[in-house]
Amino acid sequence: MGRPPCCDQAGVKKGPWTPEEDLVLVSYIQDHGPGNWRAVPTTTGLMRCSKSCRLRWTNYLRPGIKRGNFTDQEEKLIVHLQALLGNRWAAIASYLPERTDNDIKNYWNTHLKRKLKKMAAAGEGGPDAAAAELKSREPAPKGQWERRLQTDIHTARQALRDALSMDASTPTVPQPSAALAAPPLKATYASSADNIARLLEGWMRPGDGGCKASSSGSPSAGSVSGDGASASHCGMAAATLNGSTVTSRTEDGRAPAATPALSTLDWNWLLDDGMGHGGVGLVDVPLRDPSHFF
DNA sequence: AATGCTATCAACCGCAGCTAA
DNA sequence: TTTAGCTGCGGTTGATAGCAT
């Protein structure tokens, strides 16, 4: 219904964030936890709208974000999930805990889309097949959303099995800790963000997983969209700072209800269950072998 | 070395959906 | 039931780094 007027207000700063602004934002989140974004500009004095603050945190400052090139494994998973879910980047991102939906979206638009077109142009199945392939990647009409949500878990399981079985030589489960061990390929301002992330070390507390009671001020913490600010936000911090704690990505509720972020247990469940039941109850969704894209 | 082109990605915009009053 | 407030999501844009000429 109503739209927040924040971004239209005069005096609201736009454009790239400065390290100082990042620090202010991180300090705020350190104290209050993510969420209640509306209060951020007024509380911190940041001349940014709430959306900008949320976006900055979600896509950049949030601990546990993996930067740098996508692995083949990730690429295949994205291709497969995109075929299954359409352009629901948040849902797709929930299966790649260390990637933001923005990252995945950008990667799809800049790399994968072109790659697929290229391969289509190369005549894999002919132009018609290529067109059909691309068309099949159009998101489904809204009316199908609810029904498809119910199938997402099952289809994602199948996608995972397919994607993982294609490359048995590489780790079969996305391993945040392992990924974190890999140095970023690109040194940008992200390095500053890393430094900021280190500031959060003081935020982490032994014994409680480093979690700070953070969601009390978040009006949406209990909403359907599942802010889940305290628990998962802490988890992500743990991933970055511990390097050994596997985490999932639900800190600001970006993971839809039917496609929850996955912890290690979730991954195990996802795979074990899928393997164990051999697709029992699996909705009949045609799964293409993504290997033919590469 | 200068210029133009391309690729990348951070950030913005506007809509949708949810909750609370 | 209606309306306002707020957050989340996906599409798009703009700045700029990197590469080619």
B8 C1' closest Cα residue: A110
Dist CA A278 CA A231 (whole Å): 32
**Distance from residue A221 (CA) to nucleotide B20 (C1'), in Å?**
14
Dist CA A201 CA A240 (whole Å): 9
Predicted confidence (pLDDT) per residue in A248-267, tens digit: 333 333 333 334 444 444 44
Query: Does residue A102 lie within 7 Å of nucleic acid chain C, judged by its CB?
Result: yes
User: Residue range A173-195: average pLDDT?
Assistant: 38
Predicted confidence (pLDDT) per residue in A104-139, tens digit: 999 998 888 878 777 776 665 444 444 455 445 444
Dist CA A247 CA A177 (whole Å): 9
Query: Does residue A27 lie within 7 Å of nucleic acid chain C, judged by its CB?
Result: no
Highest mean pLDDT among A32-36, A211-215, A287-291: A32-36
Query: Does residue A222 lie within 7 Å of nucleic acid chain C, judged by its CB?
Result: no
Predicted confidence (pLDDT) per residue in A41-64, tens digit: 888 888 899 999 999 999 988 888
What DSSP character marks residue A205? -
CA distances (Å), origin A9, targets A14, A43, A290: 11, 17, 46
With 0-12 CB in 10 A as exposed, 13-18 as middle and 19+ as buried, what is A71?
A: middle
**Distance from residue A103 (CA) to nucleotide B3 (C1'), in Å?**
31
Q: A28 or A186, which is more confident?
A: A28
Nearest to A46 by CA among A65, A24, A78, A74: A24
Query: Does residue A35 lie within 7 Å of nucleic acid chain C, judged by its CB?
Result: yes
Dist CA A89 CA A85 (whole Å): 9
User: Residue range A201-218: average pLDDT?
Assistant: 36
- pLDDT at res. A66: 84
Tokens standing for A46? 């940041």
Query: Does residue A249 lie within 7 Å of nucleic acid chain C, judged by its CB?
Result: no
B17 C1' closest Cα residue: A1
Cβ-based neighbour number of residue A67 at 10 Å: 18
The pLDDT of residue A24 is above 60: yes
Dist CA A85 CA A64 (whole Å): 24
**Distance from residue A253 (CA) to nucleotide B17 (C1'), in Å?**
13
A46, A21 contact by CB (below 8 A): yes
Dist CA A42 CA A61 (whole Å): 20
First and final C-alpha spacing in chain A: 44
